[in-house]
Amino acid sequence: MNRLFPYCMSSSAVLPDSGGSAARDLAVSAAAAHTLYVTVGNDRIGYRRFGRGPMIILANRLRGTLDTWDPLFLDELASRYTVVTVDYPGIAYSTGKMPDAMAMASKFIDEFANAIGAERFVILGWSWGGLVAQTYLLEHTQRVTQAILIGTNPPGHNEIPLQQVFLERAFKPVNDLADEEVLFFEPASEASCAQAKASHERIYARAGVASRIPSTPDEFAPYFTAAQGFHNDEERRRERMEQVDLPILVIAGDHDTSTAGQNWFPLIGKMRQAQFVFLSETGHAPQHQYPALVSGYIHEFLSKTSLDSRK
């Protein structure tokens, strides 16, 4: 039985309704969802939209594409919410240039939300996308109802750095299942490895997944540059995270070799409306190891921090 460590503080927010557009969303699975396109600036941006209900926009990890989210996790979310996944400019299905600063990535999310007609929404960020989500919620607080941060670091200096075992595998042109066990799961746990295999098979059931994953040093560089700026924190985002009056859920694994969940310990108790879920024997992708469990935590958080639920 996995141990969970929740840290909760009082919360209130408005959970948005995706409005009339929700009625036009197709009730399809994530695996069957078609890629849609919208113009953002001069770029043709690929995205997918499915499900019913309030909207969640997902910001992806380093090297992540529309195809690399676990479809079971997305389906669990889509049973209650309108789920929107998107490729950053220059990545996979999108044209353009990948942002090399978090402010630029945040600006992209804002312009993308405008392009698809989203007014207020939940922002969910995983890993590098969690850095994007934090930047966005600080810069566009009025558009975000709640934020969900999965397997990511807070701004500024963190005591536990990226581990060498992660670096040895993260930038191979193609990662196999053995790599994914180290990168996203807990290889010392048989149960975690079993979930890694199941998640891998779900993801790669779609044709052509590997061919669209960024695989060259030039493609990696913008991610590094933006992340370094986030951790240098000249914008004082860490301090501002303590003041933001917005419900935030952080979900982390205790064996994350990339963005250690323990890095949140000094900050989480200073935040105004924060909840923290810490899962044992879990790595960098808790939502892929426990799709139903994590989506359940997300739903509980969103429903209980909605102003509507407090009336």
pLDDT per residue as tens digits for the range 211-224: 999 999 999 999 99
Number of neighbours of residue 58 by Cβ within 10 angstroms: 25
Domain total of the chain: 1
The whole-number pLDDT of residue 27 equals: 75
The CA distance from 69 to 3, in Å, is: 25
Model confidence, pTM: 0.92
pLDDT tens digits for range 63-116 = 999 999 999 999 999 999 999 999 999 999 999 999 999 999 999 999 999 999
Spatial distance between the Cα atoms of 197 and 61, rounded to a whole number of angstroms: 19
Q: What is d(CA 238, CA 112) in angstroms, rounded to the nearest whole number? A: 25
pLDDT digits (tens, 9 = 90+) for 164-188: 999 999 999 999 999 999 999 999 9
Q: How confident is the model at residue 138 (pLDDT cuts 50, 70, 90)?
A: very high
Q: Is residue 99 part of a domain?
A: yes
Going by pLDDT thresholds of 50, 70 and 90, the confidence category of residue 2 is very low
Residue 18 has pLDDT above 90, yes or no: no
Q: Residue 193 belongs to a domain with what CATH number?
A: 3.40.50.1820
Domain around 156? 7-310
Residue with tokens 């590997």: 210
State the average pLDDT over residues 260-274. Answer: 96
- Tell me whether residue 2 is in a domain: no
For residue 140, tell me if it sits in a domain. Answer: yes
Q: Is residue 111 part of a domain?
A: yes
In a domain, 1, yes or no: no
